[in-house]
Amino acid sequence: MSYLNEFFLLKHLKDGIEIMADILPKDYISTVSTKNGVVCLKESDPVLFSAKYFALLDAGFCPVLIPAETPDYQFKNVVNFCEGIKKSDVFAHSYGCLTSGTTGIPKISFHSVNGARILASSHARSLNITQQNILLQALPLTHAFGVVCYLWTALEQKVPLHFLTIQLTPQNWNQLVSKKTVVHLSPAMGRLIIKSSCKELLNPEAVSVGAGVFYRSEFLQLKNLFYESKIYVTYGFTEAGPRVSTGEILDDLPIGSIGKALDVIQVGVLQGNKIQKAGRGLLCVKTPAAKLNVLEAEVINGYLVSQDEVEIDKNGYIQYIDRIDDLIKVGGVSVYPSNILNLFKKIFPVQEAVILKEGHPIYGEIPVLFVEGPNQQEVIKEQLFPHLSAIQRPKKIMCIEKFPRDSFGKIDRKYLKELMV
């Protein structure tokens, strides 16, 4: 049986209505022709995207997933890049995901279907997703997360997928969510729900939130709101396939915890030029879903080296510290943005904030605090600065009425950096 037929036999829903087989693009493949087998797939409708993705794989093509919001000129960059790939360099039975902006040379991470299926099953086990559940597709399918945590999870676990063509909000939550639903939220969506005045939201079976920029205080607020649901933290990065770890949120969970590695993944930390099972350093991941086009510099002893600094304890629990690129050296002393932001969120729980670094002629680098909302620099200084050391205190505070975001709700940090120039 083909992937396409197997997937759509599961009786998925679209905005609550069962999907009928006659809406699927049966003639889509006849319009596809490439010299090397790589096909750029850009489709805004989630049902049609899924059908085209599986149909391309069934026909032996390698689909490269393009976010629906990608501008035409950037899309052409990706198409030109893919057309230039030698046929001998195209991986069999694989697909590709974008890993960065597409204004220059696109960066594509290729992954095997087999690895994606193994990872999807493992991630589903970590969240206890079974055939009794319904997956709510509240995040984009066209990113690495979506294709594994929705499409392949649905197929592997034989669980129906509820497609959304409308945005999931606190206002329509009770119309789209049921007690059997498993909901994956981006940090931005999690904050939107916490900030909302809707206090009687239906409790789903489980809620997971991507970690790294979602803070302990926010997880606990979500846990209080959905007191009958299981709340999970989940972590990963595109090159890893993309899931790495999961953990249920408990009251005694350490600050920054991102759970334990999935059962098909081995993790360690890079210390010097060696990988240790426990301790502090760059997170290293050995996974069956790792990208296929890996560079020699990205791997040590079969482990993919991330750019995230973590600490792994003797029981295998992982504490996220910061992305190494975000580390700020103030007069040679390391300042971690996550430490500043954790304190900020305790004092201003409903406000969004970002810490970026800026070059400085005396200190080398300084932290700059961006806050979403009206100008309240003096209030922030008065309430935040007493809890920070002198080198941690942001040398600039910039208040912006509304942060620019992508389809995942992630803040456009490039845009914020431009404001510092």
Are 319 and 331 members of one domain?
Answer: no
Are 105 and 123 members of one domain?
Answer: no
Least confident interval from 185-189, 199-203, 282-286, 403-407: 403-407
Are 314 and 339 members of one domain?
Answer: no
pLDDT in tens, 352-400: 888 888 887 777 788 889 888 888 888 888 899 988 888 888 988 888 8
Give the count of domains, the chain. 3
User: What share of the chain in percent tops pLDDT 70?
Assistant: 94
d(CA 94, CA 92): 6
| Most confident residue range from 54-68, 109-123, 227-241, 255-269 | 109-123
pLDDT in tens, 141-167: 988 999 999 999 999 999 999 999 888
Judge whether 319 lies within some domain: yes
d(CA 303, CA 290): 9
Q: For residue 274, which amino acid is it?
A: K
Q: What is the CATH number of the domain that holds 297?
A: 3.40.50.12780
Are 373 and 308 members of one domain?
Answer: no
Are 23 and 144 members of one domain?
Answer: no
Are 165 and 304 members of one domain?
Answer: yes
The confidence score (pLDDT) of residue 198 equals: 76
Are 308 and 167 members of one domain?
Answer: yes
Are 199 and 247 members of one domain?
Answer: yes
Structural domain including 410 reads 327-420
Domain boundary pick from 110, 143, 174: 110
pLDDT in tens, 265-306: 999 999 988 999 999 999 999 999 999 998 887 899 999 999
Q: For residue 158, which amino acid is it?
A: K
Are 252 and 318 members of one domain?
Answer: yes
Are 270 and 415 members of one domain?
Answer: no
pLDDT in tens, 211-261: 766 777 788 888 989 999 999 999 999 999 999 999 998 876 667 789 999
Judge whether 2 lies within some domain: no
The confidence score (pLDDT) of residue 351 equals: 82
Residues in contact with 138: Cβ distance below 8 Å, sequence separation at least 6, in sequence order: 164, 168, 183, 184, 185, 189
The confidence score (pLDDT) of residue 70 equals: 83
The confidence score (pLDDT) of residue 102 equals: 37
Q: Token pair of 384, please?
A: 């935040």
Judge whether 11 lies within some domain: no
Judge whether 42 lies within some domain: yes
**Paired strand residues for 370:** 354, 398
Q: For residue 358, which amino acid is it?
A: E
Judge whether 164 lies within some domain: yes
The confidence score (pLDDT) of residue 103 equals: 41
The confidence score (pLDDT) of residue 213 equals: 67
The confidence score (pLDDT) of residue 105 equals: 61
Domain boundary pick from 268, 293, 323: 323
Judge whether 304 lies within some domain: yes
The confidence score (pLDDT) of residue 402 equals: 85
The confidence score (pLDDT) of residue 50 equals: 93
Q: What is the mean pLDDT of the chain?
A: 87
Q: What is the CATH number of the domain that holds 365?
A: 3.30.300.30
Judge whether 14 lies within some domain: no
d(CA 401, CA 254): 33
Domain boundary pick from 323, 343, 372: 323
Judge whether 411 lies within some domain: yes
Exposed/middle/buried for residue 290 (C-beta within 10 Å: 0-12, 13-18, 19+): buried
Are 49 and 73 members of one domain?
Answer: yes
pLDDT at 94 exceeding the cut of 60: yes
Are 131 and 197 members of one domain?
Answer: yes
Query: Is the dihedral angle over the CA atoms 121, 127, 133, 136 positive or is it negative?
Result: negative
